[in-house]
Structure 1
Amino acid sequence: MTLANDWLNVPQLIKPEDVVDPNVDELSMMTYLSQFPNAKLKPNAPLHPHVNPNRVRCYGLGIEPTGVVSYVPISFTVETFSAGKGDVKVLVENPRGQLEPAQIKFNVDGSKTYTVTYTAKMEGMHKVKVLFAGNEVPKSPYNVKVEGTVGDFRKVSTSGPGLEPTGVMVGQPTYFDVFTKDAGKGQLQIIVLDQQNNRNTTICRLTKVSEYIYQCQYVAQTVGIHSISIFFSGQQIPYSPFSVTVC
């Protein structure tokens, strides 16, 4: 009530204890409450924006416990849709306690996601810390074991309706699988471009199904020919990029 008086110009017509008093004068209570709908906040009021770092979601190969190879760029996604307004900061710490550079790009999408890309310069356990509005998000820091053997991109194979030349419908989810069993160790990266070479119009998510199988789910938002590029250890796999006509 004091804050309402100071910052909203709502006079304190009743006492705080009157609110729970069953014998309170109802007219006085109604008169007091009726002032709030039209009250205007004074400048420089001590407001606290609603921010909840616990609602930030992180997913992607860049924060998986294994599968990251040194000197090859790797990415992951930070989703902030339900967390309020705040800045995303990522710290990648190598086994020596040194920080590796991390690039953070806002994707301008409905889920308010950021794509984080970094390149580990040495083998060993890395810590990836994700902060939102200055606070660590759930499960951060992520422990990522970086290995030094790069696999053979030529032995990666794919299958699934999401890579067929036709049959993909706009606004409808589809998928394809990527198989890496004979390719060795390496990172997968998938880029989906629409007919205008814009990668922000297609919602795409890559998940690890098993040790050697990954699944990419995506939803095309526009019609026309889409290009799907699949990289393994920085190299395009056979038959990539794939041309998919979205109807």
Structure 2
Amino acid sequence: DVSVGIKCDADMVGDKEADVDFDIIPNANDTFTVKYEVPQSPFSVKVAPSHDASKVKAEGPGLARTGVESGKPTHFTVITKGAGKAALDVSFSSDVNDFDVIDNYDYSHTVKYTPVHQGETSVMVKFGGDPVPKSPFTVAVAAPLDLTKVTVDNLSGRVEVDQEQQFMVDTKGAGGQGHLEVAVLSPDQRALPCKAEPQSTDAHVTLVRYTPTEEGVHTVHVSYDGHAVPGSPFPVEAQLPPDPSKVKAFGPGLSGGLVGDPAEFTIDTKGAGTGGLGLTVEGPTEAKIECSDNGDGTCSVSYLPTEPGEYLVNILFEEVHVPGSPFRAGIQMPFDPSKVEASGSGLKRAKVGETSVVNVDCSRAGPGQLTLEAVPDSTSPTGTTPGSGVRAEVVDNKDGTYTATYVPLTSGMYTLLLKYGGKPVPGFPAKVMVDPAVDTSTVTVFGPGVDGQAVYREATTAFTVDAHALTRRGGDHVKTEVRNPSGALTDCQVTDKGDGTYSVEYTPFEN
């Protein structure tokens, strides 16, 4: 029933008279409510609903086509602002847990749920019994994420620079959304080009390719659904390809050394890449080798020679000789003059004008310079002074031995000084008697000038030298020398009589 209160003039009902049925109802405020049927009654009235589902928005991860996982809570939001008032209804085509609709009191509701089964499920959202736009929503529920099932295969921890590398990532059984990401960073954290190619033969397997362009430790980051897989990031050391020509070897041990002392040298492999280093030392005896890595691309090496001689030091990189290898090292005995040995006839007796030989063995005495001096002990009858009148020579035989020779020019006692490295060797100084060039035992000397009787100062005296057993015709064979008490020499006059005898005159001038 529709109640209408009417206040009008009597002529509003028309010109013609007509009977009108009125129901007059008195009101409390001295008014009346008149009910009557007006023309064209009853009227049709359209009653509009109190809500509009088309204005409702439903959105959020819980309604996304992908991203929902079985057993993992998710949610979405229903916004009803401007859509009127009505009941919100949410239903699922498969079982869910923890379902809850929360009124946020801001014309929105939060819907929470946890899917139980993997596969496609439909989410129906209604407002006032009417489906909202896009409802029902189809949601692909993925299997639960299990990162332990992700495997990375054939990823080498040591590779060569500028060589393409490949490895495989297998995500079978890992569940989740299947979003695989791979990144390769250089030693200075720059991203390198990297290709991840899913394999047509197996959708769970991805082939990854990258090429390191510099030396150093790279890092390979592998993530699945935004989570790092076990072991990620993976360190990969990129090394230059081996190049033996770039290996350097230097140090004194490559050219020589001393017996009993470590012969040291250094090997520098910086810039030569990575490869196996081989060391051998060949010599008269086996030499112990020690090698220590310095951690900077170099290594310190030493070997201990126990015998003198030539040693070959072989240095190989990736089984190839490095520049200069094999190195020839001459190993000598350490300097020790006491190890010098001398022998030969020149140590026993010598003769004026003849070469006397001394054989010297320095092979066990180490490096040094050998010298020989032959010094007369006193002034000789010919007037020469000590240290003069002797020719000495030393010849290196290049095998650790020397031949030393001297030629005395006067007779008498000599002192031999044999030194090695400036130090006297055992048995020296040595005394050697130098005989005259001829046998003078048959020569006689007589006369007042030598018979031991007194002679007068400033008075000429004489004596005779009889050498006829050696020379029948005389000749310049006799040399005389007269020395005064002070050491000063007195002039002598030698007269050759031509028959092997000589007359000698001198005048003393000191008492």
* TM surpasses 0.5: no
**Which of 1 and 2 has greater Rg?**
2
* Interval containing the TM-score (normalised by the shorter chain): 0.3 to 0.5
Structure having the larger proportion of residues in strand: 2
- Greater relative contact order (Cα 8 A, min sep 6): structure 1 or 2? 1
Structure having the larger proportion of residues in helix: 1
TM-score by length of 1: 0.42
TM-score by length of 2: 0.21
